[in-house]
Structure 1
């Protein structure tokens, strides 16, 4: 039986646009270098392809500086795709741009109509449930509307809370396998992962929490040696990808693809 939570045959990515220098950020820690970001993005796409997956590479969107972060626009499940409703007003138009691509690969595409908001970065799909973190970008009404859609498809949803000052739920956690979560200590302390095996990021390496398990590989941001060693010792095959430029826009490994 395939494991639909981390075994994928396809992914959708979008090349960074030159306008990415104007992307949203919680705090200004530098302007992204487009050339470096393009190189890192190419490494990311090549790593996904290395697993045998097909990667649908969409063109840059100059009108949407954050368009490279495709994960926030949709939730892809085996039964269908759900278009999100971003909490950042400047990102609303990205959803329509993604709809065309999703309709080419999914027979059933639904949409969060609002008034609530929800972004894919707040959604962690595990073998047993879909965890949705309330955050500055995802509100109660958005979560409720998602629940009404996925209930049709037999999924259960559990609402959790993203720590204050953390942009998205998955900024602080990721799925490593059917039973194992990589999490910061601050997020695990909330009790949201009871019943799972949890591996914590090393002290001072909280930014390593946003990784992705993609088939046999774990893609993680480079520069977090103790967390990488922990994952290696736990038996995971880690590929480190430079994330210096995406990090300036609060972005990470999961943000850069839709996986299905």
Structure 2
């Protein structure tokens, strides 16, 4: 099967990074308290196990103590089967993460690109669908960076669409995730923003907004294990759901997509 014919949720490989002890000092837009490092590491192990069970070979990178948020490897890079793109995270404390992961990406991908500008893009603001790559403007992704990324994507044969993430939402994928070629899971605010007019939307249950950051991996949808009502909605729609604990991860404004780079 050619990569162009391959479902964008079909993955064979992933890169993750172990949580550092410094993760207690990770960024938090909403302070829910510092995570327990032992519990955070246990959640990370459960996440790796879920990826492996879904058929993915996982490469685990060592922790970076100088970067408290470095376990969230999705933000400093974007990867596809044929190329990797180094991004520029919008939080000053995370800028150095890109340089630390670049050698890993260059060793694994046949083509490597970097943003040729001073703009910013967080990987959490990028939603890849079969038809286009959505780039959400947010507090961490600006128009300069989004435009530069769209240009690189065009050079690789991929269409991009820059959209405005609704106010109060940290990242585009904080409030939505891809379920299949025609369907997204989203919060009501994201649905009402009308960003995905050509796709069906399954709403997360009220009070379970954090469930919107789910992760389709091959034949299953990984979902935070605490979100029982949203799980029922997905199962009623015919999806095979695997629960993964993310209570400590959620204290760091993160979710399931944030913890891996997948291709």
Query: How large is the RMSD of aligned CA atoms in angstroms?
Result: 1.0
Matches within 5 A, 1:184-195: 184-195=187-198
User: Which moved further from structure 2: 80-89 or 45-54?
Assistant: 45-54
Runs of 4+ in 1 over 4 A off after TM superposition: none
Q: Is the 8 A contact 1:4 1:78 kept in 2?
A: no
Structure 2 residue aligned with 1:219, among 206, 218, 222?
Answer: 222
Equivalent residue number for residue 47 of structure 2: 44
Counterpart Cα distance in 2 of 1:149 and 1:4: 21
Unaligned residue ranges in structure 2 (runs of 5+): none
1:58-137 alignment, distance < 5 Å: 58-137=61-140
Distance (Å, rounded) in 2 between the aligned partners of 1:113 and 1:20: 30
Q: Is the 8 A contact 1:130 1:155 kept in 2?
A: yes
| 1:241-260 map, 5 Å | 241-260=244-263
Unaligned 5+ segments in structure 1 are none
Contact 1:85–1:113, Cα closer than 8 Å, also in 2:
no
- Tell me by how many angstroms 1:230 deviates: 0.5
Cα deviation, residue 206, structure 1: 0.8
The CA distance in 2 between the partners of 1:244 and 1:91, in whole Å, is 22
What is the deviation of 1:224?
Answer: 1.2
Q: In the TM superposition, what is the alpha-carbon distance from 1:89 to its structure 2 partner?
A: 0.7
Q: Tell me if the contact between 2:8 and 2:129 (Cα under 8 Å) persists in the aligned partners.
A: yes
What TM-score, normalized by structure 1, do the two folds share? 0.98
Aligned position for 1:197: 200
Q: TM-score, normalised by structure 2?
A: 0.97
Q: Distance in 2 between matches of 1:35 and 1:44?
A: 14
Deviations 1:184-211 (A, max 9, x none): 1101111101010111111111110001
How far 1:161 moved relative to its partner?
Answer: 1.1
**Cα distance in structure 1, aligned partners of 2:214 and 2:57:** 20
Distance apart, 1:103 and its partner CA: 1.1
Q: How many residues align?
A: 260
